[in-house]
Amino acid sequence: MKVLLEVRNLRKYFPVKKKTFRESRQYVHALEDISFDLREGETLGVVGESGSGKSTLGRVILRLETPTDGTITYDGNDVTSLSGKDLRAFRECFQMVFQDPYSSLNPRLTVGNAIAEPMRIHGKVRSHNEAKSAVSEMLLRVGLQPEMANLYPHSFSGGQRQRIGIARALSLGPKVLICDEAVSALDVSVQSQVLNLFNRLKRELNLTYIFIAHDLSVVRYISDRIMVMYLGQIMELAPKEQLFETMYHPYTESLISASPEPSTKTRKGRIILKGEVPSSLNPPKGCRFHTRCFKEMPICSETEPELREVAPGHFVRCHLCAEKGRG
Ligand code: SF4
């Protein structure tokens, strides 16, 4: 599969406001040394607890946040240095679907105007009639009726509002959708309808997805490959089946053991992690997971493990895999 986006050594630190003049500047280490490829036509699931950096990753890729360091290459260009019309052109190709479409939809705009707005801004429609027919097409695509274009967001259910958010994201004809907790706010039955919609749209429009969620069963359902994040770093990245059958990282093991469909490896029972996720203001030295790991070794609190390819396409950041990675 062709590589669509190449992310290398990406870092994002957010400065924290100083309380006193003498205090030294502190930073939230939201992303640390993130490298991966996004392949055309795949769904890459990104899973992790809150504070893992998964949403920041989506926002940095979309250039809603500027990275502190690293490169993001799309179509031969480093996205991190784009500006003006090049950045606008990039944003036509990459769009975001948010968790709560209600807060991203202007309550004073009809749904038709909300969907047409990006097309008008980017000069994709020139007349009222062109906008109207494009909006009708978008609404039908996401399983809504064209007449609904005249209604306001408050008239819709959560699932319908998410469909409107998807229609708006699709209005510029993107290649990639970054879905950030896009079904988390929905009831389970509505969740599966929206996930099926994402799958249908992917087939019909040849889309590529980065699907960010804290719920592993959602990510498992929709993804081709899964990236597991913890405290701003990739802990494991592998094709879905491979991850569920031969996960190497203790954190992945704990996540899978807690999911409704554990794998053969984790069927012995749920692994309860000790403690809380440490603060990303001051991440632990060595392996970031060592304060909670049930397989910790002396080296783990001293030396940071690298992300190694332990089998074709299967990457792990753990000292337990050091020997496998060398082969
Ligand atoms: Fe656990 Fe050590 Fe592996 Fe980190 S490097 S996940 S602490 S075994």
Q: What is the pLDDT of residues 262-310, one digit of tens each?
A: 666 666 688 889 888 899 999 999 999 999 999 999 999 999 999 999 9
CATH of the domain spanning 3-326: 3.40.50.300
Gap from CA of 202 to ligand 1 centroid (Å): 36
- How far is residue 233's CA from residue 314's CA, in Å, rounded to a whole number? 15
Mutation choice for ligand 1 from 285, 287, 288, CB with most ligand atoms inside 8 A? 287
Contact 63, 91 (CB under 8 A): yes
- How far is residue 157's CA from residue 146's CA, in Å, rounded to a whole number? 16
Contact 153, 164 (CB under 8 A): yes
- How wide is the angle at C-alpha 42 spanned by C-alphas 171 and 219, nearest 5°? 95
- How far is residue 99's CA from residue 13's CA, in Å, rounded to a whole number? 23
In this prediction, residue 324 carries a pLDDT of: 61
Closest CA to 57 of 4, 2, 101, 96: 96
- How far is residue 125's CA from residue 170's CA, in Å, rounded to a whole number? 14
Gap from CA of 251 to ligand 1 centroid (Å): 9
Closest CA to 54 of 255, 244, 284, 230: 230
In this prediction, residue 262 carries a pLDDT of: 65
The response to whether residue 248 sits with its C-beta less than 6 Å from ligand 1 reads no
- How far is residue 231's CA from residue 14's CA, in Å, rounded to a whole number? 14
Q: What is the pLDDT of residues 111-159, one digit of tens each?
A: 999 999 999 999 999 999 999 999 999 999 999 999 999 999 999 999 9
Domain ranges of the chain: 3-326
Summary mean pLDDT of the chain: 92
The response to whether residue 285 sits with its C-beta less than 6 Å from ligand 1 reads no
In this prediction, residue 327 carries a pLDDT of: 42
Contact 271, 278 (CB under 8 A): no
DSSP track, 54-104: HHHHHHHHTTSS--SEEEEEETTEEGGG--HHHHHHHHHHEEEE-S-HHHH
The response to whether residue 320 sits with its C-beta less than 6 Å from ligand 1 reads yes
- How far is residue 152's CA from residue 133's CA, in Å, rounded to a whole number? 18
Stretches in the chain below the pLDDT threshold 70: 22-23, 101-102, 262-268, 323-327
In this prediction, residue 161 carries a pLDDT of: 93
Contact 136, 149 (CB under 8 A): yes
- How far is residue 137's CA from residue 139's CA, in Å, rounded to a whole number? 6
Question: Helices 111-121 and 158-170 sit at what angle, rounded to 10 degrees?
Answer: 20
Mutation choice for ligand 1 from 310, 315, 319, CB with most ligand atoms inside 8 A? 319
Closest CA to 211 of 22, 43, 30: 43
Coil/strand/helix, residue 277 = coil
Contact 313, 238 (CB under 8 A): yes
- How far is residue 326's CA from residue 322's CA, in Å, rounded to a whole number? 7
Gap from CA of 134 to ligand 1 centroid (Å): 52
H or E element that contains 232: none
| Extended strands (E) in 165-255 | 176-180, 208-213, 225-230, 233-239
Query: Please, how many CA atoms are within 13 Å of residue 245, restricted to the half-sphere of its CB?
Result: 5
Kindly give, in sequence order, each residue whose CB lies less than 8 Å from that of residue 135, ignoring residues fewer than 6 positions away: 112, 115, 116, 146, 149, 167, 171
Please report where in the chains the tokens 């062109």 appear, as a residue. 130
Mutation choice for ligand 1 from 251, 254, 289, CB with most ligand atoms inside 8 A? 289
In this prediction, residue 265 carries a pLDDT of: 66
Contact 51, 231 (CB under 8 A): yes
In this prediction, residue 93 carries a pLDDT of: 95
